[in-house]
Amino acid sequence: MNEKDKYGLFIAEYGKALPALRAFLRQLLPSWFDVDEVLQETSIILWKKFDQFEPGSSFSAWASMVARFEVLKYRRGKSRDRHVFSDETLELLAEECLDMEEKLAEQRQVLKTCFAKLEQKQQTLLTQSYSRDLSIKELAENEGKSPGSLYKVLDRLRVKLMKCVKDNGALAHG
């Protein structure tokens, strides 16, 4: 793989993994400042060691493992601070966070599948209701409905999605 392809692949994988990686670090570190510090070091290491990444495996899991080691290194540097977890506690938290991230990824996939089952108009309505471009009042006007009526429609769609996620999630874990 040439350098340009490698760079493109890294950026794509890193971009997809970044929100989960930041959330993972935030659960292990006391402040956003600490998260930014460790994320910067983790990013440098991920790029330097990208040749060691196995294509087809989970970039997010690999990045989280690298981040975990960077958190430990960062903590050793801050060891005089009395507001720091013990290494054992940190390891336990890291394991829990990784387990939780896997479950959340599964739930996101089920939600995506359920969302795709909705009619296009329903998908658009839900998407617009969660965007910051339009208020519910403006969206209701665009749909020719009252805000109260639109809230009822959105509530029914949310219940429909929740039931689908529950049913499909139970099948995946049952």
Q: What does pLDDT average to over the chain?
A: 84
Q: Read off the pLDDT of residues 88-142 as tens digits, 9 standing for 90 and up.
A: 777 787 778 777 777 777 888 888 899 999 999 999 888 888 876 778 888 888 8
81 against 5, higher pLDDT: 5
Which band of pLDDT confidence, cut at 50, 70 and 90, is reported for residue 174? Answer: very low
What would the mean pLDDT of 143-169 be, rounded to a whole number?
88
Q: Which fold has domain 1-104?
A: Rna Polymerase Sigma Factor; Chain: A (1.10.1740)
What CA–CA distance (Å, rounded) separates 120 from 97? Answer: 35
46 against 171, higher pLDDT: 46
Q: What is the pLDDT of residue 51?
A: 82
Q: Read off the pLDDT of residues 139-152 as tens digits, 9 standing for 90 and up.
A: 888 889 898 898 89
Q: Read off the pLDDT of residues 21-32 as tens digits, 9 standing for 90 and up.
A: 998 898 888 888
Q: What is the pLDDT of residue 93?
A: 79
What CA–CA distance (Å, rounded) separates 70 from 27? Answer: 14
Q: Read off the pLDDT of residues 65-95 as tens digits, 9 standing for 90 and up.
A: 999 999 988 888 776 656 666 777 777 877 7
What CA–CA distance (Å, rounded) separates 94 from 87? Answer: 10
Q: What is the pLDDT of residue 42?
A: 94
Domain boundaries in the chain?
Answer: 1-104, 118-174
Concatenated DSSP letters of 68-107: HHHHHHHHHHTTT-TT---HHHHHHHHHHHHHHHHHHHHH
pTM: 0.48
What CA–CA distance (Å, rounded) separates 93 from 23? Answer: 12
